[in-house]
Structure 1
Amino acid sequence: MSIQWGTPVARGVLATTIIGSGMAMLDGTVVNVALPTIGKELGASVAGLQWILDGYMLSLASLILIAGSLGDRYGRRRVYIIGVIWFGLASLLCGVAPTTGLLVAARVLQGIGGALLTPGSLAILQSSFDRADRARAIGAWSGLGGIAAAIGPLVGGLLVQAWSWRLAFLINLPIAVVTVWLSLKYVPESRDDQMRGHPDVVSSALGAIGLAGLTAALVEGPVRGAADPVVLVAGVLGVAGLAGFVWLQHRSTDPLVPPDMFRDRTFTLANGLTFVVYTALGGVMMLMVLQLQVSLGYSPTAAGISGLPITIIMLLTSSWSGKLASRIGPKLQLVIGPMIIAVAMLLYMRIAPGASYLTEVLPAVIVFGIGLTCVVAPVTATVLAAAEDRHAGVASGVNNAIARTGGLLAVAVLPAVAGLTGEAYTDPAALTSAWRTSLMICATLAVAGGLIALGVRNDVLKAPASVTPAEAPAPGDCIHCGVEGPPTHIKPATRGSQGAARG
């Protein structure tokens, strides 16, 4: 089934994917705000509070790649619904957890649900929408979905003040119910019909161990130090697990992540762009909050609100950006967008003690938002379009895993590279010096992303040209779907044909 933009079904599918993935995004920022209250009520240690965050991140990151493959194999709508229900039930367990240990366990379960639904939302858009409308749909998803992350701190504060931190988790239950209802009503089922049997358990385990080990090393490295045994063991397991996973994928006749996907230059380059740009974004977004609070004296709420123009810009322009990429090709935006982000990072260097929001912070934030609009929807659409439609789930999982790894790498490595060690982050002068060094590094990464995009195929988002009856089909091929058999169709395929014709 091919859904066209502007129809009731299209709006229903968009609402389903935005609400479901937005629930996971909202949960992350809401929990951050509720963390101090959770620690006070449950008597949690600092390590306990860290694991309330890291337990979720670890299970999500380790399973997101496998979850995308499960959607392709067993049905994208089915796995998405399972993920939403799982996330909702785990949220209930979080909301009633009486101890820190049980809350951490529930958060790990919640991460599993997040892994099942996160790549599924994009895979559903890619497999459901007409090819000409996919980039626009992904743009709307990224713009509207970003609101959830932006309003998280505000919603978290209101929920905690209204009753308890437990409400920050329980709010997911009605959202999950609405998402499941919308899924059953509007979302068509789709899968990769060429996948047979059960997924490779060994490959699945190695992939999960590899991503979990890498994530654990990146998360714990800044806290424990690179030489800590936990960090070293996690890093070794991560590298060994991923190496074993890649080796098995090349030998398997039915791999979880088909190596052929990476033979497509555009798929590989677009994922490379994703890695370097999201590494840059992760570093800037983390240090920006610190710089505003420590060096400029902003409150946590004011620091969060200062970035609101980015969300507004993406909300208003992301769908348009996706539509433009479909019309002219994504290359121009993927080259210029990272360059604009690099310019924004240079403007961010003016944010120092005594800086004004209107003259220093706001201009940089606006340029940053414009750069993100140019990049986010087009690069996501490009990654998905460069893979075969039947691999939509695993392509989304790969891109999600790469983006998260880039963000985690920035948080783990950038402060140390910039000289921000120990308690230096509490000193405005030391923090500002590290802030400026980090911005130069991140601007360089962003420029590298733009240069990588020069190799991207510019026609990747365009639908293949329809074959007309005047063109001679190959003997025995249907002129519209290319399969063996008598050419039963006599009229050319059009956008209105819904892709339903069969040979």
Structure 2
Amino acid sequence: MSIESSKEHDMLGPTLSASEASLQLHQSHVQEPKSKFHEIVFIGVVCSAQLMTQAGLAQSIAPLHIIGQSFGATNPGQLSWFAAGYSLTVGTFILIAGRLGDIYGHKRFFVLGFLWYATWSVLAGFSAYSNQIFFDCCRAFQGIGPAFILPNAIAILGRTYEPGRKKNMVFSLLGATAPGGFVLGATFSSLLGQLLWWPWSYWIMGIACLSLATAGVIVIPHTPSPQRTQSNTFKSAWERVDAPGAITGVIGLILFNFAWNQGPVVGWQTPYTYALLIVGSIFLCAFFYLESRAPFPLLPVAVLTKDTCFMLGCVAAGWSSFGIWIYYVWQFMTVLREQTPLLSSAQFVPVALSGLCAAITTGFLLSHLPPSAVMLAAMTAFTVGGICIATAPVQQTYWAQTFVSLIVMPWGMDMSFPAATIILSNTMPKEHQGLAASLVNTVVNYSISIGLGFAGTIESQINDGGANVLKGYRGSWYMAIGLSGLGIAVAVTYAGYTYTRGRQSAGESLTKA
């Protein structure tokens, strides 16, 4: 471990004894697969984490109205919960999952995450025999699975590969699976929803997750716990998991998000909506207070450098914009253009191809351009993609603005996610790779959910009680454009800051020379 990493490690927790530090250094690295075939299969299984996460998001967005009709749900706020509930728990539980992986082993929680995902996917299918509330709960519990899979998958890759071009390409491939996963999930859920019965997509998802859990046990090398100590007392576990911070953080994030997504359903004049928003904000304040005093904080103050804050700020703005874009594009296609979900899925195929090109390009760009430039390009892609679809006429051909939007938007996804993940992974010690992965994924998935809450509020306020559907959709897209525009402003500020810092460092070096 470098001197810089050692200093940073000291700030992330109490000082370790020499024997513990030596043990962590030995355990922090995961052996790279020796054969090419094993490496290809290893990367494929680990990258399936992102693939299946986005497939799970598409499972409810693509056949949204098919599922809604089976429950008799037509209110836009009720329908948005099908996707928002899933993204809420993915974003909320990731920080805890990364910490547990750091302490008890990333491979273990990667496998357990897929088993959990499989269980609740099956139960979500059986909710067809129950009601919408049970389905929403199953979707929320289903999201906990990816919350455990994603950060531990990224941590495994971060501990396996050293910083360099190969690591950049591997992380870019991980990002490339996101749009492909969404298209895969949308296609199968639409096909099964139209031709068979929508629960089959959830049952098949359960089988696939069970298969990937088995593959993970076989393919992924042993990942020793880099932060485990010889003390196994309840007090030690309580401190290392940072249970007070985890409890207050989860409650705060859930209540804050629930209020924003429930407001459009029952109306903001309903007392419990704004009451939950206030209580959630109080819990979040308590979380940050506890983190400043915790011996092993989930969110160490040392991690929140200017670079990290700028990067996460861009990711939050861009991906909340993306969440609004993806949800309302599907509504635009299926409701206003009256297309079947299967046809809409076919029209989304370019997203997967464009995302793959974007990911491969980003892998090369990160070796030649500063991260601020890559992030600025990503925010620009989010903004351009949003403008294209927000101004598209309903009767316009697919090959005009809609197609352009579908081609451009994946560049925002697959440039911002790998850039942020690689930067945090490279700047943090290997024993904290779970924390690095958790920060990015928390912001990505929580932003998708909270963005839908913002958009739902706007839609419900300006669509004239449902009489002007297009006006409501466009109002939500304008909100998305504003968020991605904010991301551009943050990226420009970050670029200026890094340029000034670089010139100052160069000047100091010349002075010393």
Q: TM-score normalised by the shorter chain: which range applies?
A: 0.7 to 0.9
Which residue of 2 is the match for residue 63 of structure 1?
93
Contact map agreement 2:348 2:406 (CA 8 A) in 1: yes
Larger CA deviation: 217-226 vs 235-244: 217-226
Q: Tell me the CA shift for residue 99 of structure 1.
A: 2.0
Matched, 1:99 2:139: no
Q: Secondary structure at the match of 1:251?
A: coil
1:377 and 2:418 matched: yes
| 1:4 Cα deviation after fit | 7.6
Q: Confirm or deny that 1:128 pairs with 2:160.
A: yes
Residue 292 of structure 2 corresponds to 250
Cα RMSD, aligned residues only: 3.3
Which stretch shifts more, 387-396 or 417-426?
417-426
CA contact (8 A) 1:294 1:426 kept: no
Q: 1:75-90 to 2 correspondence within 5 Å?
A: 75-90=105-120
In the alignment, residue 59 of structure 2 is paired with which amino acid? V
2:179: which partner in 1?
146
SS in 1 for 2:190: helix
Equivalent residue number for residue 59 of structure 2: 30
Give the distance between the partners of 2:474 and 2:386, measured in 1 at CA.
Answer: 14
Note the C-alpha offset of 1:182: 2.5
| Distance across 1 between alignment mates of 2:297 and 2:388 | 45
Is the counterpart of residue 13 in structure 1 residue 42 in structure 2?
A: yes
1:325 paired residue number: 366
**Cα deviation, residue 136, structure 1:** 1.2
Q: Distance in 2 between matches of 1:28 and 1:224?
A: 24
Match for residue 412 of structure 1? 453
* 1:27-62 alpha-carbon deviations (Å, 9 max, x no partner): 232234455555665677969877665554443333
Confirm whether residue 174 of structure 1 aligns to residue 207 of structure 2.
Answer: yes
Instruction: Return closer, same or farther for 1:206/1:22 CA change in 2, 3 Å cut-off.
Output: same
Letter in structure 1 aligned against 2:471: A
Which amino acid counterpart does residue 209 of structure 1 have in structure 2?
I
Corresponding residue for residue 210 of structure 1: 252
Which residue of structure 1 lines up, in the alignment, with residue 274 of structure 2? 232
| Cα deviations by residue, 1:329-376 (Å, 9 ceiling, x for unpaired) | 433222233234334444445412443332333234333344444333
1:113/1:415 Cα in 2 relative to 1: closer, same or farther (>3 Å)?
A: closer
2:88–2:445 contact (8 Å) kept in structure 1: no
Q: What are the Cα deviations for residues 406-441 of structure 1, in whole angstroms up to 9, with x where unaligned?
A: 223332224655895244665366357636744652
Question: Secondary structure in 1 aligned to 2:462?
Answer: coil
Q: Structure 2: which amino acid aligns with 1:318?
A: A
- Please tell me whether the aligned partners of residues 10 and 129 of structure 1 are also in contact (alpha carbons under 8 angstroms): no
* Partner secondary structure for residue 392 of structure 2: coil
Do the aligned residues in 2 keep the contact of 1:289 with 1:303 (CA within 8 Å)? yes
Paired residue total: 457
Match of 2:226 in 1: 192
Q: Deviations over 1:237-272 (max 9, x none)?
A: 22111111111111111112222111x322221111
Verify the 8 A CA contact 1:9 1:186 in the aligned structure 2: yes
| Partner residue in 2 for 1:498 | none
If each structure's helix is expressed as a fraction of its own residues, which one has the higher value? Answer: 2
1:309 aligns with 2:338: no
Deviations 1:165-188 (A, max 9, x none): 332222123322332232223323
DSSP 3-state at the match of 2:492: helix
Judge conservation of contact 1:12–1:182 (CA < 8 Å) in 2: no
State the 1:294 CA deviation: 5.5
Match of residue 74 from structure 1:
104
Residue pair 1:284, 1:439 contacting (<8 A) in 2 also: yes
Whether the aligned pair in 1 keeps the contact of 2:90 and 2:446 (CA below 8 Å) is: no
Question: What is the match of residue 110 of structure 1?
Answer: 142
- TM-score calculated relative to the size of structure 1: 0.79
The worse-fitting range, judged by mean Cα deviation, of 48-57 and 329-338 is: 48-57
Q: 1:45 to 1:416 in 2, by over 3 A?
A: closer
Q: 1:394 to 1:118 in 2, by over 3 A?
A: same
1:336 corresponds to which of 344, 355, 377? 377
Measured in 2, the distance between the counterparts of 1:329 and 1:66 equals 31
SS of the residue corresponding to residue 298 of structure 2 reads coil
- Please report the TM-score for the alignment, with normalisation by the length of structure 2: 0.78
What secondary structure does 1:326 align onto?
coil
Amino acid paired to 1:89: T
The runs of 5 or more residues in structure 1 that have no matched partner are 459-503
- Aligned equivalent of 1:485: none
Going from structure 1 to structure 2, the CA distance change for 1:261 and 1:22 (only over 3 Å counts) comes to same
Gaps of 5+ in 2: 1-29, 500-513
Other-structure match for 2:303:
261
Change (3 A) 1:95 1:422: same
Decide whether aligned partners of structure 1 residues 413 and 240 sit closer, same or farther in structure 2, where only a CA change above 3 A counts.
same
Partner of 1:3: 32
Mapping of residues 392-471 of structure 1, within 5 Å: 392-414=433-455, 416=457, 421-423=462-464, 426-427=467-468, 430-431=471-472, 434=475, 437-438=478-479, 440-454=481-495
Give, as a single letter, the amino acid of the residue that structure 2 aligns with 1:10: E
**Matches of 1:338 and 1:52, distance apart in 2:** 27
Cα separation, 1, equivalents of 2:33 and 2:247: 38
Contact 1:92 1:173 in 2 (8 A): yes
The AA in structure 1 aligned to 2:409 is F
The amino acid that maps onto 1:99 is S
> Cα gap change, 1:63/1:40 in structure 2, threshold over 3 Å: closer, same or farther?
same
Give the SS at the match of 2:185. helix
Stretch of structure 1 that moved more, 210-219 or 323-332: 323-332
- The correspondence for 2:188, drawn from 126, 135, 155, is 155
Higher relative contact order (CA 8 A, sep 6+): 2
- Structure 2 letter corresponding to 1:16: V
The CA distance in 2 between the partners of 1:156 and 1:274, in whole Å, is: 28
1:171 is paired with a residue whose SS is helix
Distance 1:10 1:270, change over 3 A: farther
